[in-house]
A and B are shown apart, each in its own frame.
Chain A
Amino acid sequence: MATETLKQFHRLPQSTYVDALRFLPPLSAFDRYVVVASFNSDSDETSIEIHALNPSTPPILTLQSSFTLSSRISSLKVAQKSLQNPLIAASTFAGSLHVLFPNPIDVSFESEVSIPEKTLHLGPITCLDLQENGSACVSVGEDGRVNLISVGDSGLDYRRIFDSKGLVSYTASRWASPTEFATGGLGNSLQWWDQRRPGGPVSQFKGNWSQGAASGVVHSIDIHPSRKHTCLAGGSYGTVFAWDLRRPQQPIVLSGIDAGEPMSSSSISESEVWEVQYDTFMSASNRANISSERVLPVMICSEDGILAVIKQGDEPTELLAENCAINSFDIDRQNPSDVICSHEWESIAFLTRA
Chain B
Amino acid sequence: MPGLLTVYHPSGHDESSALVQFSSDSNTPIVYSLHHGLKSPIAPRLSISWSRGNSLRVSVFRSPETTETVLDEVEVGGKVVELKLSGEYVDSEINDAARWRRIAYGSVSPFAHLQNKKNAMAALSELRHSAPYDVDWSKYVLEYSKEINSLLGSRGSSPTSLIEDPKTVLENVEEPSSLKAAWELLEIFYADKQSQAWIPEQLVDWLADYDSLFSEQVPSVHLRLVEFQAELINIQAVEDEPAYWQAISSALAVGWLDIVVKLLRLHGSYQLNQLGNRETENGLVEAVAVLISKMPRMRAHLPDGKLGECYYNKSDFIKAWEKWRAQITKLDCSAFWLQCSHNHTRENLKLLLQIMLGNTGTLSSATFHWVELYIAHFLYISPFTSGLESMHALAQKCMQLKPTSSPHKLMRLIIGILGENTEVVLAECSRSFGSWMIAHATELLTAGSIQAEILLKEERHNLGGVSIEESHRLVYAQVLSSHALTWQIAPIYLISCVKHGVGLLEILLYKQPVYHSQVLLKNIEICRLYDLDSVSANAMKIAGVHHWKHGRNGAGVFWLQQAGDEVRLNRIAQKLFDFVGKSISDESFEQWEGLIELLGSESRTAAGLEFLHKYRDFKKSLQQVQDGILTDAARKAGEALILLMKNPSTPQRFWLPLLYDSLKLLNWQGRPLLNVSQTNLLLNKLQELSVARLRPDFVEVGMPAGALSSVRVALATNLGRAILEE
Q: With A204-B597, A206-B597 known to touch, is A169 a contact of B552 (CB < 8 Å)?
A: yes
Report whether A186 and B485 are in contact in the complex, using a CB–CB cutoff of 8 Å.
no
Taking CB atoms and an 8 Å cut-off, the chain B residues in 583-604 that contact chain A are: 590-595, 597-598, 600, 604
Docked CA distance A328–B101 (Å): 20
CA distance A191 to B554 in the complex (A): 15
Per the 8 Å Cβ criterion, residues 502-558 of B in contact with A are 516-517, 521-522, 525, 528, 547, 550-555, 558
Kindly provide the distance from the CB of B612 to the nearest chain A CB, expressed in whole angstroms: 10
Surface stretch bound by B, among A160-168, A291-299, A307-315: A160-168
Q: Which residue of B lies closest to A210 (CB)?
A: B602
Known A142-B547, A186-B554; contact A345-B105, beta-carbon cutoff 8 A: yes
Contact at A214–B555, with CB atoms within 8 Å?
A: no
Residues of chain A from 271 to 288 with CB closer than 8 A to chain B in the complex? 271-272
Q: Is A350 an interface residue (CB 8 A)?
A: no
* In the bound complex, CA of A241 to CA of B430 (Å): 51
Q: Are A303 and B525 in contact (CB under 8 A)?
A: yes
Q: Are B591 and A164 in contact (CB under 8 A)?
A: yes
Q: Is B108 an interface residue when CB atoms closer than 8 A count as contact? A: yes
Q: Is A329 an interface residue (CB 8 A)?
A: no
A346 touches B485 (CB 8 A): yes
- Which residues of chain B have C-beta atoms less than 8 A from A44's C-beta? 84
If A44-B84, A187-B598, A303-B525 touch, whether A167 touches B98 (CB-CB below 8 Å) is no
CA distance A123 to B285 in the complex (A): 79
A123: chain B residues within 8 A (beta carbon): 550, 552
When C-beta atoms are compared, the residue in chain A nearest to B555 turns out to be A169
Judged by a CB distance under 8 angstroms, whether B97 is at the interface is yes
**Residues of A in contact, count (CB < 8 Å):** 48
Report B76-105 CB contacts with A as 1/0, cut-off 8 Å: 000000001000000000000111011001
- The residues in B between 96 and 131 inclusive whose CB is less than 8 angstroms from any CB of A are 97-99, 101-102, 105, 108-109
B705 close to A (CB within 8 Å) = no
A42: nearest chain-B partner, CB-CB: B97
Is B101 a contact of A164 with CB atoms below 8 Å? no
Question: Closest Cβ of chain B: how far from A114's Cβ, in Å?
Answer: 19
Contacts of A323 in B (CB 8 A): 108-109
A143 touches B600 (CB 8 A): no
Contact: A346 with B101, CB < 8 Å? yes
Q: Per a CB cutoff under 8 Å, which of A142, A168, A201, A346 touches B105?
A: A346
Per-residue CB contact flags for chain B residues 461-504 toward chain A (1 = under 8 Å, else 0) read 00000000000000000000001110010000000000000000
Which residues of A are found within 8 Å of B485, using beta-carbon distances? 17, 41, 346
Residue of B nearest to A216 (CB): B562
A15 within 8 A of B: yes
> Contact partner of B555 among A142, A189, A270, CB < 8 A?
A142
Name the one of A13, A168, A270, A346 contacting B595, with C-beta atoms under 8 angstroms: A168
From B596, which residue of chain A is reached at the shortest CB distance? Answer: A167
Q: Which residues of A contact B600 (CB under 8 A)?
A: 187, 206, 214
Kindly provide the distance from the CB of B51 to the nearest chain A CB, expressed in whole angstroms.
13
Residue total for B at the interface (Cβ-Cβ under 8 A) = 39
What residues of A have a CB within 8 angstroms of the CB of B483 in the complex? 41
User: Is A324 interfacial (CB-CB < 8 Å)?
Assistant: yes
Tell me the nearest residue of chain B to A17, going by C-beta.
Answer: B485
Contact B98 A42, beta carbon cutoff 8 Å: yes
Q: Are A142 and B552 in contact (CB under 8 A)?
A: yes
Give the Cβ gap from B454 to chain A, nearest Cβ, in Å.
32
**A239: shortest Cβ distance to chain B, in Å?**
13
How distant is the Cα of A169 from the Cα of B551 in the complex, in angstroms?
Answer: 11
- Decide: A200 near B98, CB < 8 A? Known: A122-B551, A272-B521: no
Q: How far is the CB of A109 from chain B (nearest CB, A)?
A: 24
Beyond A187-B597, A204-B597, A206-B597, whether A168 also contacts B554 by CB under 8 A is: yes
Q: How far is the CB of B655 from chain A (nearest CB, A)?
A: 24
Asked whether any CB of chain B lies closer than 8 Å to the CB of A185, the reply is yes
- Interface positions of A (Cβ within 8 A of B): 13-17, 41-42, 44, 93, 122-123, 126, 142-144, 163-169, 171, 185-187, 189, 191, 199-201, 204, 206, 211, 214-215, 217, 236, 270-272, 303-304, 323-324, 344-346
Chain B residues near A (Cβ < 8 Å):
84, 97-99, 101-102, 105, 108-109, 483-485, 488, 516-517, 521-522, 525, 528, 547, 550-555, 558, 561-562, 590-595, 597-598, 600, 604
| A-B contact sample (18 more), CB < 8 A, given A41-B97, A167-B553, A171-B517 | A42-B98, A44-B84, A123-B552, A164-B594, A164-B595, A166-B555, A167-B592, A185-B594, A186-B555, A186-B598, A187-B600, A189-B594, A204-B593, A204-B597, A217-B521, A272-B521, A304-B525, A345-B102
Q: List 26 A-B contacts (CB under 8 A).
A: A13-B102, A41-B483, A41-B484, A142-B547, A142-B552, A144-B552, A144-B594, A163-B591, A164-B591, A165-B551, A166-B551, A167-B592, A168-B594, A169-B554, A185-B554, A186-B558, A187-B558, A187-B597, A187-B598, A201-B593, A215-B561, A303-B525, A323-B108, A324-B105, A344-B488, A345-B105
